[in-house]
């Protein structure tokens, strides 16, 4: 009971409330953007805003389950989640469908999912497990190699899917490593590469 209370007490509630407010306002904006007299009910599930509400509720349910699961489960199965995410990305590359020019959607029955979004979560878990090992030294060549593989492998597959926007998100993970001791010159090099890529 004490551990469960500490779980809820350890949450960043102001950030959560801001997030929920933004989600709610976004949902209202979708409703306002496509409003018509024929479909004026905000709970019309035949319309985009109605389905968006379903996905919002589904996402909140997943978030609740993630919070309630013991955090040690994530540490133990981090590499399993990562490996499964890589398999999903490869499956999407081979069997997925093209949406807006990106070969990044996997059709499962009547539901389409974008495995790249789940791969972000799995990559962060794998990176956290690697760095969380006792006496981990980030500047060792072997450590840099492992970190590079964990981050670049899913990013490379996503680039092959022609979804460069999602792949660029993985570059932000480098910023997390700054706290672990990545030298300043490496961050300057990364910034230079980003600017070069944009140009």
What does the pLDDT look like over 43-68, one tens digit per residue?
Answer: 777 777 788 888 889 889 988 888 88
Rounded distance between C-alpha atoms, residue 122 and residue 82, angstroms: 5
Quick one: pLDDT band at residue 85, thresholds 50, 70, 90? Answer: very high
**Mean pLDDT, rounded, of the chain:** 81
Quick one: pLDDT band at residue 196, thresholds 50, 70, 90? Answer: low
Q: Is the predicted pLDDT of residue 111 greater than 90, yes or no?
A: no
Q: Is the predicted pLDDT of residue 6 greater than 70, yes or no?
A: no
pLDDT in tens, 141-181: 888 888 888 988 998 898 888 887 788 888 777 777 777 77
Comparison of pLDDT for 38 and 189, the residue scoring more: 38
Quick one: pLDDT band at residue 69, thresholds 50, 70, 90? Answer: confident
Rounded distance between C-alpha atoms, residue 26 and residue 164, angstroms: 24
Is residue 181 within 8 A of residue 139, CB to CB? The reply is: yes
Quick one: pLDDT band at residue 35, thresholds 50, 70, 90? Answer: confident
pLDDT attached to residue 30: 85
Quick one: pLDDT band at residue 90, thresholds 50, 70, 90? Answer: very high
Quick one: pLDDT band at residue 2, thresholds 50, 70, 90? Answer: very low
Q: The whole model's pTM is what?
A: 0.71
DSSP string, the chain: -HHHHHHHHTS-HHHHHHHHHHHHHHHHHHHHHT--STT--TT-TTSHHHHHHHHHHHHHHHHHHHHHS-HHHHHHTHHHHHHHHHHHHHHHHHH-EEETTEEEEEEETTEEE-HHHHHHHHHHHHHHHHHTSTT--TTSHHHHHHHHHHHHHHHHHHHHTT-HHHHHHGGGHHHHHHTTT--HHHHHHHHHHHHHHH-
């Amino acid at each position: 009971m004490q551990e469960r209370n500490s779980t809820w007490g350890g949450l960043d509630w102001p950030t959560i409330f801001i997030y929920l407010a933004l989600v709610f306002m976004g949902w209202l904006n979708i409703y306002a953007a496509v409003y018509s007299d024929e479909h004026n009910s905000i709970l019309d599930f035949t319309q985009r805003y109605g389905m968006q509400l379903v996905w919002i509720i589904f996402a909140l349910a997943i978030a609740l389950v993630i919070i309630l699961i013991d955090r040690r489960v994530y540490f133990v199965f981090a590499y399993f989640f990562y490996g499964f995410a890589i398999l999903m990305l490869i499956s999407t590359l081979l069997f997925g469908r093209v949406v807006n020019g990106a070969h990044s959607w996997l059709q499962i029955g009547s539901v389409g999912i974008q495995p790249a979004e789940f791969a972000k979560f799995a990559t962060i878990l794998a990176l956290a497990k690697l760095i969380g090992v006792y006496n981990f030294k980030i500047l060792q060549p072997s450590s840099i190699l492992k970190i590079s593989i964990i981050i670049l492998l899913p990013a490379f597959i996503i680039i092959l899917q022609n979804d460069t926007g999602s792949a660029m998100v993985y570059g932000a993970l480098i910023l997390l490593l700054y706290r672990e001791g990545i030298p300043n010159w490496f961050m300057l090099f990364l910034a230079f590469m980003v600017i070069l890529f944009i140009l």
